[in-house]
Amino acid sequence: MATRSAGRTRRAAFAAVAAGCALVLAACGGDDEEPSVEVEENPDFPAGSTMAELSEAGSIEIGVKIDQPGIGYLAPGEDMPSGFDIEIGKIIAGALGIAPEDVTWTETVSDNREPFLQQGNVDIVIASYSITDERRQVVGQTGPYYVTGQQILVREEDKDTITGPEQLADVKTCSVTGSTSLSNVVDDYGAEPVPFDTYSDCLTQLQNGSVDAMTTDGAILLGYAAQAPDELEVVGEAFSEERYGIGYQHGDTEFCEFINDTLQEAYDDGSWAEAFEATLGESGVETPDPPELDACQ
Amino acid sequence: MYRSELISRLSDGFIVTLQLLGWSMLIATVLGTLLAAMRVSPIAPLRAVGVSYVNIFRNTPLVVLFLIAVVGLPELGLLTGSFFWRAVTALSLYTAAFVCEVLRSGINTVQAGQAEAARAIGLTFGQTLRLVVLPQAFRNVIPPLASVYIALTKNTSVASAFGILDLTYQLSDLIEDFPGSLYWNFFSIAACYILIVAVISGAAALFERRVGVSR
């Protein structure tokens, strides 16, 4: 009896997912081709290194976000996430001789990225993971492989009154709980913070007039503005610098060097730009120059 | 640096959590008492209203009530300005159903002779309830009422996902900014909640000793 009702629930959930999937397909059109990733054959690594271990095992576990369109997003009904972070993950795995289908994608949320790395639940984290000094004390972070900046999304009718972060004083500003974006506008510009769990909840409150601005990395906002171009507008220049890095076990310098070499190679042979165009570039942003990598400590 | 940040954010969150708790407790208690009065009243439609309220609000998950209050009410043009009052609305409507049931069970423990005697000397139903029955009922339900308030304390944390900067919100913020001090972050937030809960239990124990009925 219990099994049967569980089956029914699953079927209902499946129907809901299928409906959602149809919506997403309708919204995006079906023309996104995934860039092909080069998979190294029998790469050679020093014995005992993290690279040799992963390469021999033939699989890698990568922690990613699954709720950020364009960056790391698991569309309803899909079993593989997509986005820029995912493409970067494929490039790293490829350099280790691991094919994209042998990568295990594990969802990490902002709160558990450090513990996951420390306890070895994942091998690396590529999850819109801004490099900060506090984080570098507990985990390794290398990169950046992408530099973005915080911007503001407002309703169309407010685009002349709120033109940048300077006008945010005492303005109700929404962002996601525990994100650096929110503390930036609160500490530097005196905005009144309104935290929600997800960006889409923030969007609802912006559209119903409960908050007057929403802030986070520009790439995410552009995606939302593109969905409702008559109602929403991204205003102002980027006013912070978020440097997305790749997280690894603290102190594994050898592995860090390897990641940097792989990223540098991807910059040089154009696969980085290709990954960008296929994901974040779809919202109409121009492909930037690849950012300069930090040296491994 | 970390310590001063921790203390300032904890005190910010603590005050917001206390405000949420205070207003919700007050509104839920008043509303719950009215509902309990309805449920024991001799007028059938009032009893029906009381029963329906309890059935609806006690059986709806709190998060759903929050969604209705935070996303639904503004669509109807209500409470568009304040996330705080939307949260208080959700918390008090939910908790009132529990307060009502606790009080009703308290009212049922007061011997029927008390109400009969009150009616016999000419008090109205309202006066009987207010002057004779409810004072005794409250004394009988101090421990379960304290449990309802403690549950409410913990339920306030749901508000952190709906635009409120309470203790739980500050926890996520601290984890984000100071990932190297996870244990301190968790323990200090927990300590704040324990403090509130300890005060409620302490007050309940004190009241029980002072005014509780000993049989």
Residue B199 to chain A, least CA–CA distance (Å) = 28
Which domain, by its residues, includes B42?
Answer: 2-211
> SS in 3 state form for chain A?
CHHHHHHHHHHHHHHHHHHHHHHHHHHHCCCCCCCCCCCCCCCCCCCCCHHHHHHHHCCEEEEECCEECCCEECCCCCCCCECHHHHHHHHHHHHCCCCHHHEEEEECCHHHHHHHHHCCCCCEEEEEEECCHHHHCCCEEEEEEEEECEEEEEEHHHCCCCCCHHHHCCCEEEEECCCHHHHHHHHHHCCEEEEECCHHHHHHHHHCCCCCEEEEEHHHHHHHHHHCCCCEEEECCCCCCEEEEEEECCCCHHHHHHHHHHHHHHHHCCHHHHHHHHCHHHHCCCCCCCCCCCCCC
pLDDT bucket at A7, cuts 50 / 70 / 90:
very low
Record: contact A195-B164, CB cut-off 8 A? yes
- Structural domain contains residue A17: no
Record: contact A210-B80, CB cut-off 8 A? yes
Q: Are residues A200 and A278 in the same domain?
A: no
Can you give the pLDDT at residue A280?
76
Find chain B residues with C-beta within 8 A of A174's C-beta.
163
Tell me which of B71, B73, B173, B186 to substitute to probe the interface with A (most A C-beta atoms closer than 10 Å).
B173
- Structural domain contains residue A225: yes
Q: Are residues A136 and A267 in the same domain?
A: yes
- Give the DSSP H or E segment for B112: helix B112-120
Helix (H, G, I), strand (E, B) or coil at B124: coil
Residue A88 to chain B, least CA–CA distance (Å) = 23
Q: What is the pLDDT of residues A83-113, one digit of tens each?
A: 888 988 989 888 888 888 888 898 888 778 8
**Which has more pLDDT, A69 or B52?**
B52
Nearest by CB to residue A180, choosing from B71, B164, B176, is B176
Record: contact B178-A110, CB cut-off 8 A? no
Q: What is the pLDDT of residues A140-170, one digit of tens each?
A: 888 788 888 888 899 888 888 888 888 888 8
- What is the domain count for chain B? 1
Q: Are residues A138 and A60 in the same domain?
A: yes
Record: contact B176-A195, CB cut-off 8 A? no
Q: Are residues A45 and A107 in the same domain?
A: yes
Q: What is the pLDDT of residues B65-85, one digit of tens each?
A: 999 998 888 888 777 778 899
Record: contact B71-A208, CB cut-off 8 A? yes
CATH value at residue B81: 1.10.3720.10
- Structural domain contains residue A77: yes
Q: Are residues A67 and A79 in the same domain?
A: yes
Region class of B205: left (phi > 0), else alpha (psi between -120 and 50), else beta: alpha
Residue B193 to chain A, least CA–CA distance (Å) = 19
* One-letter amino acid of B199: V
Asked if A171 and A212 count as a contact pair (C-beta separation under 8 A), the reply is yes
Q: Are residues A49 and A117 in the same domain?
A: yes
Q: Are residues A126 and A262 in the same domain?
A: yes
Can you give the pLDDT at residue A24?
44
CATH value at residue A119: 3.40.190.10
Can you give the pLDDT at residue B213?
64
Can you give the pLDDT at residue B23?
96
Can you give the pLDDT at residue B100?
95
**Which has more pLDDT, A201 or B199?**
B199
Bond prior to A144 in cis (omega within 30° of 0): yes
Q: Are residues A58 and A116 in the same domain?
A: yes
Record: contact B75-A208, CB cut-off 8 A? yes
What's the whole-number mean pLDDT along residues B115-130?
91
Residue A5 clears pLDDT 60, i.e. is over it: no
Contacting residues for B62 by C-beta, under 8 A, at least 6 apart: B90, B91, B94, B155, B158
Q: Are residues A117 and A263 in the same domain?
A: yes
Distances (CA, A) of B195 to B24, B189, B201: 18, 10, 10
Average pLDDT, chain B: 90
- Structural domain contains residue A29: no
Record: contact B179-A177, CB cut-off 8 A? no
- Structural domain contains residue A120: yes
- Structural domain contains residue A157: yes
> pLDDT exceeding 90 applies to what percent of chain B?
62
Of A40, A62, A69, A22, the residue nearest A198 (C-alpha): A69
Tell me which of A108, A139, A177 to substitute to probe the interface with B (most B C-beta atoms closer than 10 Å).
A177
Find chain B residues with C-beta within 8 A of A204's C-beta.
71
Q: Are residues A155 and A134 in the same domain?
A: no
By the CB < 8 Å criterion, does A134 face chain B?
Answer: yes
What's the whole-number mean pLDDT along residues B15-44?
94
- Structural domain contains residue A49: yes
- Structural domain contains residue A277: yes
Which domain, by its residues, includes A50?
Answer: 36-147+242-283
Nearest by CB to residue A134, choosing from B71, B83, B179, is B179
Q: Are residues A225 and A124 in the same domain?
A: no
Residue B191 clears pLDDT 90, i.e. is over it: yes
Region class of B110: left (phi > 0), else alpha (psi between -120 and 50), else beta: beta
Q: How far apart are CA B182 and CA A258, in angstroms?
A: 30
pLDDT bucket at A178, cuts 50 / 70 / 90:
low
- What is the domain count for chain A? 2
Region class of A98: left (phi > 0), else alpha (psi between -120 and 50), else beta: beta
**Which has more pLDDT, B180 or A205?**
A205
Residue A291 clears pLDDT 70, i.e. is over it: yes
